[in-house]
Structure 1
Amino acid sequence: MSKDFFAPGDSGRLLARHRLNSFEALWNLKLDAVDAPNTTRGGWSTVYRLDLEDDQGRSHGFYLKRQDNHLTRSVLKPFGEPTFAREYRAIQAYARYQVPALKAVAFAERRQAGHKRALLLTCALDDFDPLDQWLEKWDTLAYTDKKTLIQAIAMLVKRLHQTGNVHNCLYAKHIFVKLRHGQAEARLIDLEKTRRSWLGKHDRVSDLATLNRRTQKPSRAQRLSFLLSYLDKRKLDDEARGWIMKIDRRIKRKAAA
């Protein structure tokens, strides 16, 4: 079982100020869920919004996720472990690899009365919007803003793949982007399925195909701009054409499945 983690610094002090720096305090905290519980794995998993004021009266937003017997199984964990344990490890790995992503503030798990329970607290990305929301207003965005967003997302995915990892669930709703004064910053969330890219280019193509298949709004030219930025190329060449063919084949196979 992993040791409890509570972030040092301002976030840790804020939790201590509200006496929320323990598993028991966060587990028993009364909050309204932001969506219906996930019960697909035999237990349950729920997300809550948490807002805390610091000693200056400033509000700080967090998302608290709690789960009971909501398990994932693997060769190393044949009897299962909470999915948040896997996501927490991924968050810490992204931080080590310097891949922009959500930040963990607390993680803890317990075995209680035959139940495997876990909680994960992360900072809310309140200054960011998920890519699917950007796509809803895509036609209203300025050309330069579209270009900036595309480049920021391409650099984010490229950075992840350079570490030898793939997101493995690269949907638009899992990419959060902030656009301010002509500059864009992108981060990844929902890292539970992140894994090593054992199959190299095949796995990277799979990530890119997932993102392409789930984002209908950008034009073909804009998708090409994304790929060229990802490949660090100024113009289309044989290598880029090869990537396009592999991505298209992957999309068609998924559509036919």
Structure 2
Amino acid sequence: MSSLPFVAVNAHEVLARHGVNSFAALWALELDAVDAPNTGRGGWSSVHRLELEDGNGDLQCFYLKRQDNHCTRTLRAPFGEPTFAREFRAVQQYAKLGIPALEAAFFARRTVDGRQQAVLLTRALDEYAPLDEWFERWPSLAPAEIRTLAQAAGALVRALHNAGVIHNCLYPKHIFLKLHGDGAGARLIDLEKTRSAWFGQRDFIRDLETLNRRSAAPTRTQRLRFLLAYCGQQRMNAQSKALVRQLLARQAGKEAKR
């Protein structure tokens, strides 16, 4: 049993051109894995890079994600579903809400001999780099570039939270940024655990504290610049100061539990 595939309009031609516009064709491709397959949850999940030449002779680059019986149980799917199915729904939700994130080019799922399988093809973000890689370059970046990146990341997380959604696993590696002439672009990836902010501000603080704790490179001033961009402010006021206090309180609470 298989579902009807989703094929993005801007990917249909190149996938059809190479005969990989079906679940079976994408499943059968022999490609080198980007890293070691994830063998948890009673199955496996793998990621591969796929490069296809379009009709203009240009390369269109994707990441092909395949999984077999790699499932999670949720209220929506109490008996389990492929984690990529959950991520695909999140990609669609983000697009509908106008939250910059990765783009899906193809998705389908099927059940074979009782095993749930899924294929998710996403556009490669080759012009971007994850925030943790930007941190590695921090010492060589100009102050204006660091300021631009911090502001772009803050605005991205603000857009997420303004939509009433949390990432729920907001590590620097999940924020993709690129510098260009008039600012920076920003997108979120790995949306598998994203959910609505059931607890409002408490959930938002959780996202922000996770990101702050995992970000070692920025100085205090750079962290404040991120928070000001997040708050949509030019300088600290009562709202941003309260946010800092909430972040510090959550951080202290987590440290006390260790």
Shorter-chain TM range is: over 0.9
After TM superposition, give the deviation of residue 155 of structure 1 in Å. 0.7
Given residue 8 of structure 2, which amino acid in structure 1 is its aligned partner? A
Structure 1 runs (4+) greater than 4 angstroms displaced = none
In the TM superposition, 1:64-79 aligns within 5 A as 64-79=64-79
1: CA distance, partners of 2:46 / 2:253? 33
2: CA distance, partners of 1:5 / 1:71? 20
2 and 238 in structure 1: CA distance in 2 versus 1, 3 angstrom threshold: farther
Question: Does the CA contact (< 8 Å) of 2:49 and 2:63 recur in 1?
Answer: yes
Q: Which runs of 5+ in 1 are unaligned?
A: none
For the aligned residue pairs, the C-alpha RMSD in angstroms reads 1.2
Cross-structure match for 1:88: 88
In the TM superposition, 1:85-234 aligns within 5 A as 85-234=85-234
2: CA distance, partners of 1:154 / 1:100? 13
1: CA distance, partners of 2:253 / 2:143? 32
What CA deviation, in whole Å up to 9, does each residue of 1:128-163 have, x standing for no partner? Answer: 111100000101111111111111111111001111
Cross-structure match for 1:32: 32
1: CA distance, partners of 2:127 / 2:38? 26
The alignment of Structure 1 onto Structure 2 pairs a total of residues equal to 256
2: CA distance, partners of 1:203 / 1:135? 25
2: CA distance, partners of 1:30 / 1:133? 29
Question: Does the CA contact (< 8 Å) of 2:171 and 2:210 recur in 1?
Answer: yes
Give the secondary structure class of the aligned counterpart of 1:137: helix
Query: Which deviates more from structure 2 when the two are superposed, residues 241-250 or residues 193-202?
Result: 241-250
Question: Does the CA contact (< 8 Å) of 2:228 and 2:240 recur in 1?
Answer: yes
Normalised to the residue count of structure 2, the TM-score between the two structures is 0.96
Task: Indicate yes or no: 2:9 matched with 1:8.
Answer: yes
Normalised to the residue count of structure 1, the TM-score between the two structures is 0.96
Q: Which runs of 5+ in 2 are unaligned?
A: none
After TM superposition, give the deviation of residue 72 of structure 1 in Å. 0.8
Give the secondary structure class of the aligned counterpart of 1:109: strand
Given residue 166 of structure 1, which amino acid in structure 2 is its aligned partner? I
Cross-structure match for 2:42: 42
